[in-house]
Amino acid sequence: MGSQHSAGAPHRAGSIRRVGKPGVRRPEGVTLEDIEAYLRHMSRLELGPDHGSADINYEAMARSVRNRFAEERPLATDIRCQGRETAWLRLFDASDDPVGRSRSWLRVSRGGSVIRTVFPDTFEPLLFAPGRVLGVKSMPDGTNRIARWTEALGD
């Protein structure tokens, strides 16, 4: 559990070199509770507002499909490129989202520096560029707008 993960960083003519990420620990194992939360989330999506009346035994279902899930949680759920010099990794975290799409991203530069950025719940990053991130901002009235994030990017 306590070991550090490494990520590949772009290095000269497409080769890859390993860089450690400070503060990012080896992912924990996937639990039955994780699987149950995922199944509940998916049933809400599939069955809609009446999902609660479906009388589904999620605990039993989680046990029966355990072999279809990974043993360990993945380090990241998404990777995006920022030009040729930087990669962004969306860290896995099922505490807020049963699918693991956390608000925390790691910016890994060609030089090996690693910077963690946590985006607000109302902002979904889509495109990474030097000095800014473009994405969708959820507004209080339920609409979405294209937005630019420039805070604490470490550029």
Sequence-separated (6 or more) residues with CB below 8 Å from residue 153: 107, 115, 117, 131, 132, 133
Cα–Cα distance measured from residue 54 to residue 81, given in angstroms and rounded to the nearest whole number: 42
Write out pLDDT tens, residues 42-97: 998 888 888 888 889 999 999 999 999 989 888 888 999 988 789 999 998 888 78
| pTM, full prediction | 0.69
CA–CA dist 74, 90 (Å, integer): 11
State residue 33 phi and psi, 5-degree precision. Answer: -65, -40
